[in-house]
Amino acid sequence: MWQNKSWTDTGLLICACLLGLSGACSSQPEFERVEEYPEGMQIDTAKSAFSNKLQTTTVSDRYPAGFDAVWAATKRVAHHFEKLHGKPVIRIDEKNGSIELRDTHKVDRSKGYNPDAERIEGWKDEFLIKVVALDSNRTKVTVSRKVVGIPSFRLCGDDLVQCGSLYEPEVSNAKIEDWILTKIEDDLASTASGSTK
């Protein structure tokens, strides 16, 4: 009987640890400034290795400015992001204060990028940027990202379409999301200083 209780206690302890670990893994990251645009896929390789479901990584920040100013800054940053990415699909919803960006990437080995570091040959990502007024002088911006990749052991040729449904869920490391929020903050600061001159 003592052995059964011991195994039960051990089992409960293991379950509690696993639940705690899964809670820590699923929690959304806090915003941290990222000054330089993060190149490459920008995934959390440890979390991605254990993920088999599509996940959304969400980061948000609040700004001491009204909705109109933050919305204008967000659109400028989205267009800047669009130029960096080449030609992503972008959809701006003025009515709901949201911007969607979708893009497909192929690893360009000629630029010296090493796909083995992230085990990826190509990837698709989808961003949703949402701007919400908290009151007349405070606005919240949320940046969400979903990402799927093609592991390097899959041979896709030059056309990622050949891989079709073989994309696998990955987990964003939130660096690009943080960079977008940083650029919005910088744009607002620049606009404010320009208006006071």
| pLDDT tens, residue order, the chain (197 aa) | 444 444 455 444 444 444 444 444 457 899 999 999 998 889 998 898 888 899 999 999 999 999 999 999 999 999 999 888 777 789 999 999 999 999 988 776 666 555 555 566 788 999 999 999 999 999 999 999 999 987 766 656 555 555 656 788 999 999 999 999 999 999 999 988 875 33
Domain boundary assignment for the chain: 31-196
pLDDT at site 67: 98
Position of tokens 């440890």? 46
| CATH 3.30.930.10 correct for 31-196 | no
Q: Pick from 1, 172, 139: which is nearest to 63 by CA?
A: 139
Alpha-carbon distance of 82 to 59, in angstroms, equals 19
pLDDT at site 40: 84
Q: Pick from 59, 111, 104, 107: which is nearest to 85 by CA?
A: 104
pLDDT in tens, 104-143: 887 766 665 555 555 667 889 999 999 999 999 999 999 9
DSSP for the chain reads: -HHHHHHHHHHHHHHHHHHHHHHHHHSPPPP----SPPPS--B-HHHHHT--S--EEEEEEEESS-HHHHHHHHHHHHHHHHHHTSS-EEEEETTTTEEEEEEEEE--GGGT--GGGTTEEEEEEEEEEEEEEEETTEEEEEEEEEEEEEETTS--TT-GGGGGGG-EEE-B-SHHHHHHHHHHHHHHHHHHHHHH-
pLDDT at site 88: 77
pLDDT at site 90: 92
